[in-house]
Structure 1
Amino acid sequence: MAFADNLRQLPSVAHIAALRLLDASGNEVASIPNAPGKTGSLTIYAALTAKHGAINVAAAREGLELFAEHTEDARQHPGNHPNIDRLFDVIANSKSYSVQIDSQA
């Protein structure tokens, strides 16, 4: 399925202001705001967190499938899709990030 089709299958993130990824020490390593151009990534990361409890290797593999056509573009153009690049890194280095979700006010 295409990225847009995958997004339509996932829960809404209208209630989320941002999603923060935390390393094993609790340090924030990334944040995905609910903002234009970021909502798709936020939707995928939130769904992965709900299913897997964290962004771990299993979640990252599923995430690459959900990003669909953007995954191949990210492979060909490292740096253009940082939220996909991060999933490649999670898989390559067996990383895991806990997630903090900030609700809309």
Structure 2
Amino acid sequence: MQKFSDVLQTLDDASNVERIELYNKDGSPAGVIENKPGSQGSIKVYSHLARMYGEISLDAAVEGLSLYAEHTEDAENCPGKHPNVDRLLNILEDEQPLTIKVIEA
């Protein structure tokens, strides 16, 4: 299994992203990922998913969980520890895609 740190090196630079906003189907906020220490890996993953899929669909969630590598298993075993991974796991369960808006600096 690849490590998350190795996966991040294969993804496009996302240092220009200020934050990523996520919305439920009804337009209500589903979360925000700020570009700050501790969340920069998630910024890269979600930016990649936005480019590839245009939303966080079921297919995007499956790819995202693969990209998170060892953090996916950790999130399954420790709910709440990795909220950005939990969000993708929730999409697998409820099959409700999220709209994604990438805010650049």
Scaled by the length of structure 2, the TM-score of the pair is 0.96
Distance 2:35 2:68 in 1: 17
Gaps of 5+ in 2: none
Offset of residue 25 of structure 1: 2.1
Distance 2:94 2:9 in 1: 30
Moved over 4 A (4+): none
Gaps of 5+ in 1: none
Q: Is the 8 A contact 2:25 2:96 kept in 1?
A: no
Q: Tell me the residue number matched to 1:9.
A: 10
Scaled by the length of structure 1, the TM-score of the pair is 0.96
Q: Tell me the residue number matched to 1:20.
A: 21
Q: Tell me the residue number matched to 1:94.
A: 95
- RMSD of the TM alignment (CA)? 0.7
